[in-house]
């Protein structure tokens, strides 16, 4: 059976400006299950953002395709909400209007009061209440702006939520706070999330599964690392977990060394399926099976 979101033999080539072609990635194939939080991790320039744009429907792939919930992805859709790195709020609208803008697009049949009520509820979920919601984005801090953007995306209940380096432009402290908030909102939903980042700790904290991308050109999704740390997670507690450093070291090794070694060559196979990887240092003897918190289902 196909996963909820199936990326099949996705290939992207651009003209290189010298008459030739530059292959960003070729035959990338992977899946995301419903309700799963998948993070894609890789160096800049490896084509993460290109994959994101294709999933959002803002760009067309050279070859292959994306199937979500049995339907081929063609063009942008309200079923796929996007949080961009630079927030992409409309600066001439107030914070509240930026969210009602999205809600009204999703539910054209709703009354104005319904739309506003729904928007206020989701702004409240990211901690924006009272006077603040009538301010313009330019009067908010970067962290608050990204909260608005997250509220706008969650308020629309998209089938798939795409996060394009959402915390990339924030300082470390703010980033931590908003990561916690994102986990809190996401925890209450069955929202499927696909996120891009180049921050390893952020990926471990948030993800059910991390896809590792090699460097371009001919980048590929080389591994799919299951995060064997039970939820709910918090930034201070996960570092104590025996699997944390094992997973972290694996990721650091990959980004630091193997992503380069594996780069730049064609694999010769038809489909570049990521190799599943499970790192679990929790010995079952110390901890009986029944007491272990359940892990989420993982693809492959």
Partner 1 sequence: MQGLSLNTRAAIMSVLLLVGGLLVWELSIPAQQTVGELTEYERLTGGGEARAGVPPPSQVIVKAWEELSNPFYDAGPNDKGIGIQIGYSIYRVLTGYALAALIAIPLGFLIGMSPVAYRALNPFIQVLRPISPLAWMPLALFIIQDSEASAIFVIFICSIWPMLLNTAFGVAGVRSDWVNVAKTHELGPLKTAFTVILPAAAPTIVTGMRISIGIAWLVIVAAEMLVGGTGIGYYVWNEWNNLDLTSVIFSILMIGVVGMLLDTMFGLLQRRVAYVE
Which residues form the interface with partner 1 (CB under 8 A)?
A: 56-58, 75-78, 80-82, 84, 86, 88, 90-93, 101-102, 105-106, 136, 138
CB 94 to partner 1: min, Å: 11
Of 61 and 81, CB closest to partner 1: 81
Pairing label, strands 21-32, 37-41 = unpaired
Closest CA to 121 of 146, 149, 155, 147: 155
Distance, CA of 115 to chain centre: 26
CB 87, min distance to partner 1, A:
8
Residue 122 Cβ vs partner 1, minimum distance, rounded to whole Å: 15
How does DSSP assign 14-70, residue by residue? EE-SSSSEEEEEEEEEEEE-TT-EEEEE--TTSSHHHHHHHHHTSS--SEEEEEETT
Nearer to partner 1, 126 or 225 (CB): 126
Output 92 or 245, the one with its CB closest to partner 1. Answer: 92
Please report how close the Cβ of residue 267 comes to partner 1 at its closest, in angstroms.
Answer: 32
Instruction: Name which of 52 and 247 has its Cβ closer to partner 1.
Output: 52
What is the C-alpha to C-alpha distance for residues 183 and 161, in angstroms, rounded to an integer? 13
The nearest distance, CB 76 to partner 1, in angstroms, is 4
DSSP E strand boundaries for 121-206:
160-164, 192-197
Query: Which sign, positive or negative, has the C-alpha torsion 120, 136, 169, 44?
Result: positive
Choice between 126 and 204, CB closer to partner 1:
126
Closest Cα to residue 160, out of 221, 71, 49? 71
Three-state secondary structure of 81-133: EEECCCCCCCCCCCHHHHHHHHHHHHCCCCCHHHHHHHHHHHHHHCCCCHHHH
CA dihedral 163, 164, 167, 168 (to 10 degrees): 170
Q: Which helix (H) or strand (E) holds 245?
A: helix 242-253
Instruction: Kindly tell me which of 24 and 160 has the beta carbon lying closer to partner 1.
Output: 160
Task: Supply the minimum distance, in Å, between the C-beta of residue 86 and partner 1.
Answer: 6
Nearer to partner 1, 196 or 212 (CB): 196
Instruction: Give the nearer residue to partner 1 in terms of CB position, either 191 or 243.
Output: 191
The overall longest dimension of the chain from CA atoms, in Å, is: 62
- Shortest Å distance, C-beta 58 to partner 1: 6
Q: Taking the complex as a whole, how short is the minimal distance between the CB of residue 84 and partner 1, in angstroms? A: 6
């Amino acid at each position: 059976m196909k996963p909820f979101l199936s990326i099949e033999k996705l290939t992207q080539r651009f003209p290189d400006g010298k008459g030739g072609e530059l292959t960003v990635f070729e035959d990338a194939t992977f899946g995301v299950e419903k309700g799963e939080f998948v993070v894609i991790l890789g160096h800049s320039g490896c084509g993460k953002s290109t994959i994101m744009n294709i999933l959002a429907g803002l760009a067309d792939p050279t070859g292959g395709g994306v199937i979500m919930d049995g339907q081929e992805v063609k063009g942008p859709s309200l079923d796929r909400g996007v949080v961009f790195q630079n927030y992409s709020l409309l600066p001439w609208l107030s914070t509240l209007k930026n969210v009602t803008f999205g809600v009204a697009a999703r539910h054209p049949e709703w009354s104005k009061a319904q739309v506003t009520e729904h928007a206020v509820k989701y702004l409240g979920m990211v901690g924006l209440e009272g006077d603040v919601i009538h301010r313009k984005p330019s009067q908010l801090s970067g962290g608050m702006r990204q909260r608005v953007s997250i509220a706008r995306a969650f308020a629309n209940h998209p089938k798939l939520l795409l996060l394009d380096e959402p915390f990339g432009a924030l300082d470390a402290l703010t980033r931590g706070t908003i990561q916690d908030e994102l986990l809190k909102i996401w925890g209450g939903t069955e929202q499927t999330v696909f996120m891009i980042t180049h921050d390893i700790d952020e990926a471990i904290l948030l993800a059910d599964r991390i896809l590792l991308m090699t460097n371009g050109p001919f980048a590929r999704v080389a591994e799919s690392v299951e995060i064997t740390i039970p939820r709910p997670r918090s930034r201070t507690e996960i570092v104590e977990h025996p699997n944390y450093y094992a997973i972290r070291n694996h990721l650091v090794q990959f980004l630091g060394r193997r992503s380069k070694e594996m780069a730049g060559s064609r694999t010769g196979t038809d489909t570049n399926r990521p190799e599943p990887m499970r790192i679990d240092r929790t010995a079952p003897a110390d901890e009986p099976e029944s007491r272990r918190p359940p892990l989420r289902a993982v693809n492959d």
